[in-house]
């Protein structure tokens, strides 16, 4: 069983984006990171867009990522608890990772408390002001009828179309994202509204593709995990404090 005590958080690996070679290089880097954290990890939270596309047919899943998935299986077998959040790119996770890895699949938000610290966790898509078009699309894509219709497509067609669009993923080559004024950050706006009704020490998200650690008030912080195409950023909670860190920086 796992003997670690730390919590690790990471998001937006976008495995599959950028072509096979770039994705394999990123996958290898992720496996090295997982090797590093395995010694002291108790729980690992992978907070959405782990894959640039994912759909689970009844008997078929997208091929590839075998080293990454094998490493997750090894960690799960060692007693490390795994959480996989649905992102906007991999919202069509169903029960495959539950059965194979014993992972807990998170559809939306997850609230946890560890060592007296309260966490609010969410991939980050569809929250805060604006982006009405995506919020409508998210409801459609999450609907049972949409999932049923997509499942009627032969995997060669369905996954092929998805992989074509993956080549145009906005994260590929994205290294010029700038930090806006903090008060204009839409997830900051969402967090401030949330804190009006409930207290959290840490509000942790992905989706934004930019590592951020923003003090919201005297006690609460908004942390964005960034991504693994340009930043290789993640967060770790050592039982006392949550810190944003970078792998092989």
Greatest distance between any 2 Cα atoms in the chain:
53
Chain centroid to CA 129: how far? 21
Q: Report, as an integer, the average pLDDT of 217-223.
A: 96
Measuring CA to CA, which residue among 87, 62, 69 is closest to residue 31? Answer: 69
Whole-model pTM? 0.88
pLDDT band at 94 (very low <50, low <70, confident <90, very high): confident
What ranges do the domains of the chain cover?
A: 6-171+180-246
pLDDT band at 117 (very low <50, low <70, confident <90, very high): very high
Cα angle: 244, vertex 225, 240; to 5 degrees: 40
- Output the average pLDDT for the chain: 86
Which CATH code of 1.20.1740.10, 3.40.1390.10, 3.60.21.10, 3.30.530.20 fits the domain covering 6-171+180-246?
A: 3.60.21.10
The predicted-structure confidence for 48-85, as pLDDT tens digits, reads as follows 899 987 778 788 787 889 999 999 999 999 999 999 99
Is residue 235 pLDDT above 50, yes or no? yes
Report the SS3 class of residue 133.
helix
Residue-by-residue DSSP string for 73-93: HHHHHTT-EEEEE--SSS-B-
The predicted-structure confidence for 136-167, as pLDDT tens digits, reads as follows 666 666 677 776 766 677 777 767 666 666 55
């Amino acid at each position: 069983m796992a003997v670690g005590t730390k919590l690790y958080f990471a998001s937006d690996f976008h495995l599959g984006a950028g072509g096979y070679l770039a994705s394999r290089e990123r996958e290898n880097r992720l496996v090295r990171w997982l090797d590093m954290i395995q010694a002291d990890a108790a729980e690992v939270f992978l907070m959405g867009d782990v894959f640039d596309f994912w759909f689970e047919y009844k008997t078929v899943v997208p091929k590839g990522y075998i080293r990454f998935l094998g490493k997750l299986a090894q960690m799960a077998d060692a007693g490390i608890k795994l959480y996989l959040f649905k992102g906007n790119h991999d919202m069509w996770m169903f029960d495959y990772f539950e059965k194979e890895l014993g992972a807990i699949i998170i559809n939306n938000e997850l609230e946890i408390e560890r060592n007296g610290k309260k966490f609010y966790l969410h991939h980050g898509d569809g929250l805060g002001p604006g982006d009405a078009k995506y919020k409508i699309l998210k409801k459609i894509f999450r609907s049972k009828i949409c999932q049923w219709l997509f499942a009627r497509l032969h995997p060669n067609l369905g996954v092929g179309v998805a992989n074509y669009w993956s080549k145009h993923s906005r994260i590929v080559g994205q290294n010029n994202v700038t930090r806006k004024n903090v008060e204009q950050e839409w997830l900051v706006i969402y967090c401030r509204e949330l804190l009006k009704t409930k207290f959290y020490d840490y509000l942790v998200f992905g989706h934004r593709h930019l590592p951020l650690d923003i003090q919201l008030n005297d006690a609460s912080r908004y942390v964005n995990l960034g991504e693994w195409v340009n930043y290789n950023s993640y967060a770790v909670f050592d039982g006392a404090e949550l810190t944003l860190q970078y792998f092989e920086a």
